[in-house]
Every structure is written in C-alpha cells, then in structure tokens.
Amino acid sequence: MRTPFMRALTRTTLAALVLALALLVALPRHGSLGSDFFDVFTLAFCFTFFGHYIEAFLRALPGIETGPGRLVRLAGWFAGGLWCYLVARWLWLRYGRDLNDLPGLVWGGVFLVVLELMMSAISGQRSANDRAAR
C-alpha cells in the first residue's frame, strides 16, 4: 500500500509534466530542449506540489466551503501562489536563467488560483469537512 505522500508526489509530478509542456512553449528558450524542459518542469512542480499542500491545509479549515470561507480559500490560493512563485523564481535564478523571462510576482498568485480551480474541477474533490459529515 502506498503512502499518502507518495500518492501526492505521483499525482503532482504527472500534473507538473503536463503543465511543463505548456510552459515550455510559453517561456523563452535558453539552451537545449532537455535543460529547458527541466527548468520549466521545476517551475511547474513548485506550483503543483506546494499547491497540493496549500489546498489540503485550506480544505481542513472549518466552514471553508460555505459563505465567506470560499473567499478565504481563494485568498489562500493567491497567497500560496505567491510563495510557490518565490521558490520557483529562486530556483530559476539558481539555474542561471534571467528573471525577466518570467512574468511579475503577482501572476504567481493568479496562476495558482487558476490551477487549483482546474484541478478541483478535474478531480471533483470534496472538502475534508464534507467527508467527515457523512
């Protein structure tokens, strides 16, 4: 039986692979195809992996699915996206890439909001509070 961490790692890695293909086309090339793919995969993995745990934390909050809780969840995604993007930008610099190749910092928050909305729609997951009420 696989641990929850391994399931999350596998799922987020697969999502990052798909996302990296889109980012490879959208961002400027730097070197070989392999090194560019590795760079954008790392960028995508920061959002998918850390985003998974941001979402898990937010889903554990009581009342997150009702009323103002939805706005708190949206704000949490945005703030989490800023942190994901900070880590990704730091790695981007470590790879010798130019930060001017990436959009501004605020787009990290927007990116995670859009990513989490898509992942929620695709997976159809319910919150931990909804599962506990059953």
Tell me if 127 sits within 8 A of 65, measured CB to CB.
yes
| CB 19, CB 48: distance < 8 Å | yes
Q: What is the pLDDT of residue 126?
A: 58
Q: What percent of the chain has pLDDT over 70?
A: 92
Tens-place pLDDT, residues 109-133: 999 999 999 988 887 765 444 444 4
Q: 90: closest CA among 53, 52, 46, 55?
A: 46
Residue-averaged pLDDT of the chain: 89
The rounded distance, in Å, linking the Cα atoms of 58 and 21 is 28
Distance between CA atoms of 35 and 39, rounded to whole angstroms?
6
**Structural domain boundaries in the chain:** 4-124
Residues 87 and 49 sit within 8 Å (Cβ to Cβ): no
